Structure 1
Amino acid sequence: MVLPEIGESRLKDRKQGKGRERQQADRNRHGGKGGFATGAGSARGRGGERRQQAAAIAGLPVQVGDRVDVEIIGLTHEGEGVGRVEGYTLFVRGAVPGDRVRAEVSSVGKSFGRARLAELLEASADRIAAPCAIYELCGGCQLQHWDYAAQLRWKRQLVADNLARIGKLPVAMGDVELAATDTSDASADSVGPPPATRPPVLVHPTIGMDEPWRYRNKAQVPIGMSASVEGGLIGGFFEQGSHDIVDMDVCLIQQEPNEETVRVVKRIARSLGWSSYDRGTGRGLLRHVVVRHAEATGERMVVLITNGRDLPHEDELVALVREQVPGVASICQNVNTSRASIVFGDETRVLWGRDVIYDEIGDIRFAISARSFFQVNPQQTERLYGAALKYAALTGGETVIDAYCGIGTITLFLARHARRVYGVEIVPEAIEDARRNASLNGIANADFAVGAAEDVLPRWQAGGVSPDVIVVDPPRKGCDPRLLDTMLQLRPQRIVYVSCNPSTLARDLRVLEDGGYRRVEAQPVDMFPHTGHVECVIGMQRIDT
């Protein structure tokens, strides 16, 4: 029903002044970027363009429109199969390692090209039939056609490969050890041992789900119109590679209460004669429907994102939603009149009920508002935070700083095990939520501040705060270089790094390694089954402790 948000759905890109909608745009990009020449159809039908492309990129073994047989030997972080033709790399959407495919080239660049899977010549032993009926259209999942055990193995390997290739760190996975791929640019100022003598990072098997379906507690559904549907209004997902909306009522990674809520809201909107927002004209009413389901309490929230404040038949809408949505505790309207492709506007008003619903992670209760970031996979979130707590190795007497703290999820999880915790976040609304959640749980040993962590941490230090442990949970782009410098100046005994992007994790770990820390362990966690994304928790220890 809704595309999983990269890295999940994190507040993280909002922290950097970007909306999660931009993540959605990233997911839906298709070909034709970064100097690519793109095209479709046969080579014969595009002769002029082909000749121009060949002149621009001479010597390539393939051109747009060619059909080539390819052995798939790997997978990109976006879930595309990787193959080679005479040494030239092709990314093949829909292919998995072990496949032999006939692929039609759709774009070429100097270093790599992209192709569509035209024919499956020989299937991988790990290839399965995707259970979702519209899997090939939807851009939300990339790996439903791959056995789940293979997905978990690949996500572990993805973390290990990035640590070795980008971080230039030795890596061990059980009996297998990967050497750092290059140590020539090791910092001359490195405090730790030379790379060749550093102990390897132990990358544990990925923590997966026992039942990797129906895990998402939030659905974010774009709304459109279709003449083929009675009442016209539809809502579902963006078709892969486009902003065309395909109506959908079932999504196998959504919790079923969310499916039910969206079906009800679409039916009510049709009955009230509401129009959908038109991106081209900027007219129309309903842009998105966002629904949440709190698994611990059973409460549901409905958020209607509209192009303007006027809501026709508002009272009737509220009455119908209350009558037809079990457990609904909050009905809100968010007003977004921007022509930009962002989901939420600045104004949210409560139409009925509370402005929040309540959910839990472990024994911590959270108030979740319409625009709050809250992890979408509650079962795996508890495992992720459990790994962070393990690597923090708290005994009850420590001072902990949580950089990029969001609404305080990790901060409050750690507060029960530390003397004092400090959370910093650049988004003011998130800090308001964090303070409210601390109060909700009777946690008095947590302090929160608004600002960039690299600016706030030195102020705390000047005020006498000396952290024993620093936890970072940055956006996909990783830690700000100034924050890494600040952490090295503060010299905590331990650093816990929670990452949603193995490549920037590897880059930042190298800086921390050269600054006097060693990796203890790496624990991948599968927060988003059937997608190309993986979370990872790293424990680091200062080498002189």
Structure 2
Amino acid sequence: MNEIEINLTGIAHLGEAIGKHDGKVVFVPYGIPGETVKARIIKDEGDYLRAEIIEVIEPSFFRENPPCSLFGLCGGCSFQHVTYSYQTKLKEIVVMEQLKRIGGFENPEEFTQLTIKADNPYNYRNRADFSINRQKLLGFKMRGTHKFIHVNYCHIMHEKINELLAILQGKTPKRKTHNVTIRYGVNTGKCLVQPEIDVIEIETGQKFYIEKLLGKEFLISAPSFFQVNTYQAENLIKTVLNYIDSEDKTIIDAYAGVGTFTVFLSEKAERVIAIEESRSAYKDAQINIKNYDNITYLCEKTEEALSEFNFDVDAIVLDPPRVGCMKEVLQGIVEKKIKKVIYVSCEPSTLARDLKFLKEKGYKLIEIQPVDMFPQTYHIENVALMKLI
């Protein structure tokens, strides 16, 4: 394919640098806006091109050497070549562009706050999902393929997970599997390794583990979701709580998981109704909320639960999966005239889409607070505050 010299002028949604060639946008992974690079066109998608860097002709001031020898191969990280302070700047740009292009917010910089950075931009992940090959070696799948990459050390995994990884290499799971999951309680030292593995040095096959957030204990079973960055999860909770005030007597916590927001909200409100459709997370939550008498926990889909409520709600906290909220959820918020919406999102594009819907129904966007839950990757968490006007 053709080799080109291109000036990189921006950053795309998935962390790729972009430039233009012959009137077409070119997506260039592992480039940085402001750089001039020599690149090879690897795919013509019609309206745009995809390219890979051959040589960085004029490097960015923010370029640095990635610490991981597998960077660019395994695909888990996208920004190890960028200084951490500039990573968060690039993510803010993406958030604002999505809000403007998809959400129709003309001046997103007016309400987008500076990112809450991570104190630990490496060795922060409390969960690892490894592939296992026929030799019982653990690793990842190569970016864009199913090719196995043997991994001895992952720079974004917590050091404890790397220790366990070393112990588990070459060991035999007690049931046939292609995956091994390791989860670690950063604030408790508790571990979960699934499935059970034939190894004597450590316990494996645990059904659950315990973690603490801001001093409160949470039981998390193997199938249940939990934020992968314990340190930043605490900042995320603080951000949500900052948007709650004394007027918020009744609060809904939608997509409540194992109750990480719920228990903290219950200390600020008279009544909290939590909604979670995952049976495993719901069961975990029953243990996590046992000391709180003002919480009602429903094991239902959020859209179905909202349609059943016939009481006034002052605020709702939304923390949906990456695909965002179903339209029925947003419509339910509008119909119930819920005065305050606090939307936690790990996907700027679906956040912008859902905020646009609420904006068109009479809600005003007050503030967006990015929280960098996923350093070295293009992912960014945001907390948006909207109020009914």
Q: TM-score scaled by structure 1?
A: 0.69
- Are 1:301 and 2:301 counterparts? no
Find the aligned partners of 1:387 and 1:502 in 2 and give their Cα distance. 17
Identify the residue that residue 113 of structure 2 maps to in structure 1.
Answer: 204
Find the aligned partners of 1:451 and 1:203 in 2 and give their Cα distance. 33
In structure 1, which of residues 365, 376, 392 is the aligned counterpart of residue 228 of structure 2? 376
In structure 2, which of residues 14, 31, 34 is the aligned counterpart of residue 95 of structure 1? 31
- Maintained 8 Å contact 1:152/1:206: yes
Identify the residue that residue 224 of structure 1 maps to in structure 2.
Answer: 133
- Maintained 8 Å contact 1:262/1:289: no
Q: How far is the alpha carbon of 1:172 from its aligned partner?
A: 4.8
Q: How far is the alpha carbon of 1:395 from its aligned partner?
A: 2.0
Q: How far is the alpha carbon of 1:136 from its aligned partner?
A: 2.5
Find the aligned partners of 2:226 and 2:91 in 1 and give their Cα distance. 23
Task: Give 5+ residue unaligned stretches, structure 1.
Answer: 1-64, 174-200, 226-231, 276-283, 306-313, 333-349
Find the aligned partners of 1:106 and 1:500 in 2 and give their Cα distance. 30
Find the aligned partners of 2:108 and 2:164 in 1 and give their Cα distance. 46
Q: Aligned letter for 1:233?
A: K
- Maintained 8 Å contact 2:161/2:184: yes
- What does residue range 214-363 of structure 1 map to in structure 2 within 5 Å? 214-225=123-134, 232-269=135-172, 285-304=176-195, 317=198, 320=200, 324-325=201-202, 328=203, 331-332=204-205, 355-363=207-215
Distance of aligned partners of 1:397 and 1:72 in 2 relative to their CA distance in 1, 3 Å threshold? closer
- Maintained 8 Å contact 2:220/2:281: no
Residues 133-167 of structure 1 deviation map (CA, whole Å, 9 limit, x = unaligned): 22122210000001111111111111111111111
- Maintained 8 Å contact 2:99/2:108: no
In structure 1, which of residues 411, 422, 431 is the aligned counterpart of residue 262 of structure 2? 411
- Are 1:77 and 2:13 counterparts? yes
- Maintained 8 Å contact 2:24/2:48: yes
Alignment root-mean-square deviation, CA? 1.8
Q: Aligned letter for 1:395?
A: S
Find the aligned partners of 2:169 and 2:273 in 1 and give their Cα distance. 43
Identify the residue that residue 388 of structure 1 maps to in structure 2.
Answer: 240
In structure 2, which of residues 292, 296, 301 is the aligned counterpart of residue 443 of structure 1? 292
Identify the residue that residue 132 of structure 1 maps to in structure 2.
Answer: 68
Identify the residue that residue 486 of structure 1 maps to in structure 2.
Answer: 332
- Are 1:458 and 2:367 counterparts? no
Find the aligned partners of 1:382 and 1:110 in 2 and give their Cα distance. 44
- What does residue range 22-33 of structure 1 map to in structure 2 within 5 Å? none
Residues 426-454 of structure 1 deviation map (CA, whole Å, 9 limit, x = unaligned): 22222112222111xx1221111122212
- Are 1:528 and 2:380 counterparts? no
- Maintained 8 Å contact 1:92/1:115: yes
Find the aligned partners of 2:102 and 2:374 in 1 and give their Cα distance. 23
Q: How far is the alpha carbon of 1:396 from its aligned partner?
A: 7.5
Q: How far is the alpha carbon of 1:88 from its aligned partner?
A: 0.5
Identify the residue that residue 505 of structure 1 maps to in structure 2.
Answer: 351
- Maintained 8 Å contact 1:518/1:541: yes
Identify the residue that residue 146 of structure 1 maps to in structure 2.
Answer: 82
- Maintained 8 Å contact 2:344/2:383: yes
Q: Aligned letter for 2:214?
A: G
- Maintained 8 Å contact 1:71/1:98: yes
Task: Give 5+ residue unaligned stretches, structure 2.
Answer: none
Q: How many residues align?
A: 389
Residues 331-377 of structure 1 deviation map (CA, whole Å, 9 limit, x = unaligned): 31xxxxxxxxxxxxxxxxx5xxxx32211111321001111211110
Find the aligned partners of 1:94 and 1:474 in 2 and give their Cα distance. 29
Q: Aligned letter for 2:280?
A: E
Find the aligned partners of 1:397 and 1:253 in 2 and give their Cα distance. 38
3-state secondary structure, aligned to 2:133: strand
Find the aligned partners of 2:284 and 2:107 in 1 and give their Cα distance. 39
Q: How far is the alpha carbon of 1:77 from its aligned partner?
A: 2.1
Q: Aligned letter for 1:222?
A: S
3-state secondary structure, aligned to 1:492: coil
3-state secondary structure, aligned to 2:4: strand
Distance of aligned partners of 1:493 and 1:397 in 2 relative to their CA distance in 1, 3 Å threshold? closer
Identify the residue that residue 250 of structure 2 maps to in structure 1.
Answer: 399
- Maintained 8 Å contact 1:77/1:533: no
Residues 422-481 of structure 1 deviation map (CA, whole Å, 9 limit, x = unaligned): 111222222112222111xx12211111222121112122xxx32100111112221111
Residues 109-128 of structure 1 deviation map (CA, whole Å, 9 limit, x = unaligned): 22111111112111111111
Find the aligned partners of 1:528 and 1:431 in 2 and give their Cα distance. 26
- Are 1:114 and 2:50 counterparts? yes
Q: Aligned letter for 2:35?
A: D
Bigger Cα Rg: 1
Detail structure 1 runs of 4+ shifted over 4 Å in the superposition. none
Q: Aligned letter for 1:470?
A: I
Q: How far is the alpha carbon of 1:266 from its aligned partner?
A: 2.1
Find the aligned partners of 1:114 and 1:100 in 2 and give their Cα distance. 16
Q: Aligned letter for 2:227?
A: Q
3-state secondary structure, aligned to 2:309: helix
Find the aligned partners of 2:345 and 2:305 in 1 and give their Cα distance. 21
3-state secondary structure, aligned to 2:88: helix
- Identical pairs, percent: 34
Find the aligned partners of 2:14 and 2:359 in 1 and give their Cα distance. 28
- Maintained 8 Å contact 1:233/1:266: yes
- Maintained 8 Å contact 2:161/2:183: yes
